[in-house]
């Protein structure tokens, strides 16, 4: 086993980076002109089917996000085994309490003038939730099982040249098919690619950078093609579009070109410097005719996983400071939107996050493109189930027929992204038990290795004792532990790999701006208002608070990093209130469902963001009912010590120490008695000099609405979104942290009102309605562009409040 392990780890040293692929072939994205219905009982694929009363929609589209919320949509009676439950209980809101269960039909009429005899046409789905059945011109042309998988269908023989075509897609979401909100519909892009008969095979080009030769990087290009007597030329361009290397010809075998190209003094890709090159590959016929061209963005980077030492990127030991992300985008649901994804990553970048785990399914192409460009390492995951079920109608129904096809499509479609540094074949699968599970783990890992021998494979394991005994954990390239901090040492000694990944950590629960007393560390704590305390000391039965993971990450070189559950709240899984109503979204997020940072954001920022200083105080200081009562004050900072003042009186200096995990990473004044006014913290540098100050003041009654946009200029493309944070302040401009006023939104000009979200997991207010209550004094309004440039104005009003307004520019 050890010899095999060494050879595997060596192969990961010789590694590549590459990214976004754009084909010279004609690509038509089917965004507009869709009709949708979830009310049709019969099959609706025939050409003469009447759709005049169907809803007009654009794709990506999620039909279920528009609600309403209702616990009857997804009520389940079950025992969640991975949470250690033995007795079934009624669960509400587990999949978001939104109407995603059922059948929906999409139809689109289109023509492709470029298509003619001698051309090839592919219909590409980037995500269809779920079990898509696809019809073209009244004929069934294909189907798929997994709603998260990318797949394509060759429609060359069914596409009508020079006339209209009818595409119909039937999607079915069965009850008990998910553990979280899966979304519903064509939630990612649908496109048609037109190629010559001689072409580069779809997702068939693989670029790696296996080594450095002196000051030159070796670029290895393998490209599958269709045709005979073909030739290939590749140009490498830098970020300024200058050609830095060219290769003609190369080895050709089994319909695959193989070229070796050297780039002198390369810029290496990393989270700090996400530099991207472009490989332009051109396919020529024997007579010199250009048949196909690809422009593939890629980055040159080298990864290495070493026993007892950890993970290194470009020769530098690097810890994964990562978060797990579900695929929903809060008030947008599952419908992918690049502006929303970029906002998420911008927030995470400020926190110091350097890695993302797509949980528990394939990431979107847009998310990977942004990770390449913005500098995030990526753990790309495939499945939440294998052959053994977690839910009645989960992926186990498709595993035998589709698992290999799904992995092949995942890897081939995304392996050319520098951000991806590891694959995951599963998460907390029940197959961790027994010999059959070991065989499945090896089979899946072998498929990943066959398709991509340059990256390791992990599984998020929660049954760690079982995987120690069965050999399951020992066969993985990277053993991933979900929680189980008490087993890290034993796992490290038992498993032969010599390292441990925190594949899922913390699961601390909190509600933004909500604080509970007395302040004590607790598991499974519940309150009458169905909120969790933002003192960041509450977790689930199986999990822990962040500080316990920090200790392992900081003290153990063989712990290679962590992926916190989760970066943002998501729809569904409202633990610890999954037996309570109303509660329909998670409490795990470091930021809430609206993308607003919770206090915990600053705890991670104080440790992860090494460039910027953090000095954050909690709780808020509006406690009319608590005068004279103990109200602890915490400070999250990357300074080692600080002094707290209440209304000018010193409450003493606190210095970080190793007496407890909390004292090591937080400054805490646990005996402060509340009195209205001002709490101020003064932080000291290593020399004991004042380095920074911050304060929180008691606010008066809400008086005025304040608006702040994440971007005041957006693209007039009909998809771009500005996220406007709405809050209220008193007459002196002090934020009102307990305000719950209902506000109304109006958008005029070159844009539309898209949605709003306040981050309250118990709110049943519908996202796309133009009114919503504040939660802990804030909410976020989403303003979307149209396809005409101009000025957009958002006006927000509320009873008894001075209105707020903001202008946003929309440009071509």
Pair 311, 35: CB distance under 8 Å: no
β-pair partners for 356: 323, 378
Per DSSP (E only), the strands in 198-354 are 199-213, 216-226, 231-237, 243-248, 251-252, 256-264, 277-284, 290-298, 303-306, 310-313, 316-317, 320-325
Pair 462, 82: CB distance under 8 Å: yes
Q: Among the options 126, 306, 504, 548, which is catalytic? A: 504
Spatial separation of the C-alpha atoms in residues 66 and 83, rounded to whole Å = 30
Q: Among the options 126, 306, 385, 428, which is catalytic? A: 428
Q: Is 368 helix (H, G, I), strand (E, B) or coil?
A: helix
Q: How many helices (H) and strands (E) does the chain have?
A: 11, 50
- Three-class SS of 337-364: CHHHHHHHHHHHHHHCCCEEEECCCCCC
Q: Look at residues 528, 501, 533 and name the one whose alpha carbon lies nearest to residue 516.
A: 533
β-pair partners for 808: 792
Residue 344 phi/psi, 5° resolution? -55, -50
Check the CA dihedral 332-333-336-342 and report its sign.
Answer: positive
- The DSSP annotation for 157-207 comes to TTSPTTS-EEEEEEEEE-TT--SS----B--S-EEEEEEESSEEEEEEEEE
For residue 101, how many other CB atoms are within 10 A of its CB?
A: 18
Q: Is 579 a catalytic residue?
A: no
Helical axes 338-351 vs 365-374, angle rounded to 10°? 40
* Letter string b/e over residues 158-170, b meaning 16 or more CB atoms within 10 A of that residue's CB: bbeeeeebbbbbb
Spatial separation of the C-alpha atoms in residues 709 and 711, rounded to whole Å = 5
In degrees, to the nearest 5, what angle opens at C-alpha 125 toward C-alphas 121 and 126?
130
Residue showing tokens 């654009």: 58
Q: Is 371 helix (H, G, I), strand (E, B) or coil?
A: helix
Torsion of CA 521, 522, 525, 530, to 10 degrees: 30
Spatial separation of the C-alpha atoms in residues 525 and 506, rounded to whole Å = 15
Torsion of CA 430, 435, 438, 443, to 10 degrees: -110
Is beta strand 355-358 parallel, antiparallel or unpaired with respect to 320-325? parallel
Identify the helix (H) or strand (E) that includes residue 440: helix 434-451
Q: Is 428 a catalytic residue?
A: yes
Residue showing tokens 């719950």: 740
Pair 773, 758: CB distance under 8 Å: yes
Residue 630 phi/psi, 5° resolution? -65, 120
C-alpha distance from residue 508 to each of 96, 98, 354, 472 (Å): 20, 25, 20, 28
Pair 438, 470: CB distance under 8 Å: yes
Residue 475 phi/psi, 5° resolution? -85, -20
Residues, the chain: 812
* Letter string b/e over residues 301-316, b meaning 16 or more CB atoms within 10 A of that residue's CB: bbbbbbeeebbbbeee
Residue showing tokens 């061209």: 293
Pair 721, 709: CB distance under 8 Å: no
Active site residues: 428, 504
């Amino acid at each position: 086993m050890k010899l095999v392990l060494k050879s595997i780890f060596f192969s990961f040293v010789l590694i590549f980076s590459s990214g976004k692929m754009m084909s010279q072939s004609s690509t038509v994205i089917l965004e507009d002109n869709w009709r949708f219905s979830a009310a049709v009982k019969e099959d609706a694929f025939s050409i003469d089917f009447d759709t005049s009363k169907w809803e007009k929609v654009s794709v990506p589209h999620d039909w279920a996000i528009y609600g309403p919320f209702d616990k009857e949509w997804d009520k389940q009676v079950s025992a969640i085994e991975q949470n250690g439950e033995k007795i079934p209980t009624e669960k509400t809101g587990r999949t978001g309490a939104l109407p995603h269960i059922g059948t929906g039909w999409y139809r689109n009429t289109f023509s492709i003038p470029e298509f003619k005899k001698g051309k090839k046409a592919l219909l590409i789905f980037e995500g269809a939730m779920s079990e898509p059945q696809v019809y073209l011109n009244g004929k069934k042309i294909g189907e798929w099982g997994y709603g998260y998988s990318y797949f394509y269908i060759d429609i060359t023989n069914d596409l009508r040249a020079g006339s209209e075509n009818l595409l119909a897609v039937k999607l079915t979401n069965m009850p008990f098919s998910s553990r979280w909100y899966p979304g519903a519909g064509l939630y990612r892009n649908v496109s048609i690619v037109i190629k010559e008969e001689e072409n580069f095979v779809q997702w068939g080009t693989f670029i790696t950078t296996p080594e450095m030769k002196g000051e030159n990087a070796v670029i290895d290009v393998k490209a599958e093609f269709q045709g005979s007597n073909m030739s290939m030329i590749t140009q490498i361009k830098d970020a300024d579009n200058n050609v830095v290397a060219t290769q003609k010809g190369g080895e050709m075998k089994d319909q695959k070109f193989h070229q070796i190209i050297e780039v002198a003094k390369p810029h290496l890709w990393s989270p700090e410097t996400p530099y991207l090159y472009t490989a332009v590959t051109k396919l020529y016929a024997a007579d010199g005719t250009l048949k196909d061209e690809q422009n593939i963005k890629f980055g040159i980077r080298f990864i290495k996983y070493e026993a007892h030492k950890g993970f290194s990127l470009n020769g530098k030991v690097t810890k994964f400071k990562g978060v797990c992300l579900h695929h929903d985008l809060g008030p947008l649901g599952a419908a992918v939107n690049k502006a929303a994804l970029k906002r998420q990553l911008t927030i995470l970048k400020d926190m110091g996050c350097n890695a993302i785990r797509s949980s528990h399914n394939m990431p979107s192409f847009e998310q990977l493109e942004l990770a390449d460009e913005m500098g995030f390492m990526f753990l790309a995951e495939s499945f939440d189930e294998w052959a053994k079920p977690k839910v009645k109608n989960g992926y186990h129904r498709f595993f035998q027929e589709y698992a290999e096809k799904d992995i092949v499509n995942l890897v081939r479609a995304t392996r050319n992204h520098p951000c991806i540094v590891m694959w995951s074949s599963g998460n907390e699968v029940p197959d961790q038990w027994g010999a059959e599970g070991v065989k499945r783990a090896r089979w899946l890992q072998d498929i990943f290795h066959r398709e991509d021998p340059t990256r390791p494979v992990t599984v998020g394991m929660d049954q760690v004792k079982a995987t120690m005994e069965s050999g399951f954990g020992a066969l993985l390239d990277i053993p991933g532990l979900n929680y189980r901090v008490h087993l890290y040492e034993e796992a490290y000694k038992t498993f032969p790999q010599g390292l441990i990944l925190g594949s899922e950590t913390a699961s601390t629960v909190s509600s933004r701006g909500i604080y509970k007393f007395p302040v004590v560390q607790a598991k499974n704590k519940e309150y009458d208002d169905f909120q969790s305390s933002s003192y960041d000391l509450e977790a689930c039965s199986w999990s822990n608070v962040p500080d316990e993971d920090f200790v392992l990450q900081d003290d153990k070189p063989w712990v290679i990093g962590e992926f916190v559950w989760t970066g943002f709240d998501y729809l569904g899984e409202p633990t610890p209130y999954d037996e309570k109503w109303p509660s329909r979204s998670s409490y795990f997020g470091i930021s809430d469902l609206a993308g607003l940072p919770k206090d915990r954001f600053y705890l991670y920022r104080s440790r992860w963001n090494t460039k910027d200083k953090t000095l954050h105080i909690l709780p808020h200081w509006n406690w009319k009912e608590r005068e004279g009562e103990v109200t602890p004050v915490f400070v999250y900072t990357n300074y080692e010590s600080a002094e707290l003042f209440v209304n000018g009186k010193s409450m003493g200096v606190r210095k970080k120490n190793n007496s407890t995990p909390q004292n090591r990473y937080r400054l805490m004044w646990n005996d402060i008695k509340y009195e209205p006014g001002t709490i101020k913290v003064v932080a000291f540098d290593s020399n004991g000099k004042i380095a920074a100050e911050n304060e929180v003041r008691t606010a008066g009654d809400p008086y005025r609405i304040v608006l702040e946009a994440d971007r005041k200029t957006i693209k007039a493309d009909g998809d771009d979104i500005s996220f406007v944070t709405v809050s209220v302040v008193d007459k002196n401009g002090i934020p009102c942290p307990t305000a719950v006023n209902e506000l109304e939104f109006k958008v005029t000009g070159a844009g539309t009102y898209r949605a709003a979200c306040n981050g309250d997991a118990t709110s049943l207010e519908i996202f796309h309605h133009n009114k919503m209550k504040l939660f802990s004094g804030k909410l976020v309004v989403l303003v979307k562009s149209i396809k005409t440039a101009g000025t957009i104005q958002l006006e927000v009003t509320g009873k008894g409040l001075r209105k707020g307004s903001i202008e946003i520019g929309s440009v071509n």
